Copies of this chain bind each other. A is one copy, B any other.
Amino acid sequence: MPLPQLTRSARPATVSIAATNERGEQTSTLIAGEHALTIYLDRREIVTLMTMGAAPEALVLGYLRNQRLIADIEEIAAVQVDWETDSAAVTTRTGAHDIDAQMGRRTVTSGCGQGTMFGDLMQSIEQTRLPEGGRLASATLATLLDRVRQHESVYKQAGAVHGCALADADGNILMFVEDVGRHNAVDAIAGQMWLEGVVGGDKIFYTTGRLTSEMVIKAAQMGIPFLVSRSGLTQMGFEIAERLGLTMIGRAHAGRYLLFTGQQRFVRDEANG
């Protein structure tokens, strides 16, 4: 079965606006792009996301995957993003996808406070088994953090975005997405992994965002045992990571970090801290 047909409709990451600084000087400053994108699944309106639009097709795929609206990427015939109408039209091969049941069982959870999830997400997460074999050495963590530091271009230019990276077991960045919403950035990576058939079991997921319940759940959904963040964590993020046995590291920045859960997969090299 062929992969879905995709448009390639990335938007410019930043726009320049005028502002006045604290000295009363006119200055121009770059800000992150932000656009409404309404997803239609077989002509049925699903959701409107606010996105920077760096990888809209991957975002749409990842959203459908992480919300468990589509089980298999081969069900999807096409994703057509059209910024004239701010819409993403998703066509399935069967053309009559039964999402009403799923929409009905909708629950709304949140990492940013008020996000949206569907159906029996928490229940299915309980059955997730993350691979136990992998190891993350502190030297690899240092490599990854160094590469991320060099990579975050929109954040450096404009702030106000979150970045996510998927890295291999050596700390090499395989995918990197920034967006105005950290959940969008995660979903875009999930979509790209789906498209390329990339498995999560031997990967490391990095986010600049906080380690909330939803972030931990999404890492687990992608089957990724290592979750690293520059930011801190919340109580439910901690509790779910502990229950799943995910190896979670936070406040990873400027040579420092805190290992919170899943210690058995982490190998500290004395030389590298």
Residues of chain A at the chain B interface (Cβ within 8 Å): 15, 17, 19-24, 27, 29, 31-36, 47-51, 107-116, 138, 158-160, 179-185, 210-214, 231-238, 251, 255-260, 263, 266, 268, 270, 273
Q: Given the complex, which residues of B lie within 8 Å of A256, measured CB to CB? A: 21-22
Could you list 20 further interchain pairs (A-B, Cβ under 8 angstroms) beyond the known A50-B234, A114-B181, A159-B251? A17-B238, A20-B259, A22-B255, A22-B258, A31-B235, A32-B234, A34-B234, A49-B108, A49-B110, A49-B114, A108-B116, A111-B181, A112-B113, A112-B115, A113-B183, A113-B185, A114-B184, A115-B116, A116-B116, A159-B231
A263 to B232, Cβ gap below 8 A? no
A113 to B234, Cβ gap below 8 A? no
Number of copies: 2
Q: A256-B21, A257-B21, A258-B19 are in contact. Are A181 and B235 (CB under 8 A)?
A: no
Which of the residues B50, B51, B116, B236 comes within 8 Å of A50, measured between beta carbons?
B236
Least CB distance from A178 to B in Å reads: 12
A114 to B47, Cβ gap below 8 A? yes
CA distance A182 to B110 in the complex (A): 11
- Residue picked from A49, A182, A263, most chain B C-beta under 10 Å: A49
Q: A232-B159, A238-B31 are in contact. Are A212 and B48 (CB under 8 A)?
A: no
CA distance A213 to B31 in the complex (A): 13
A213 to B113, Cβ gap below 8 A? no
CA distance A185 to B36 in the complex (A): 24
Q: Given the complex, which residues of B lie within 8 Å of A181, measured CB to CB? A: 110-114
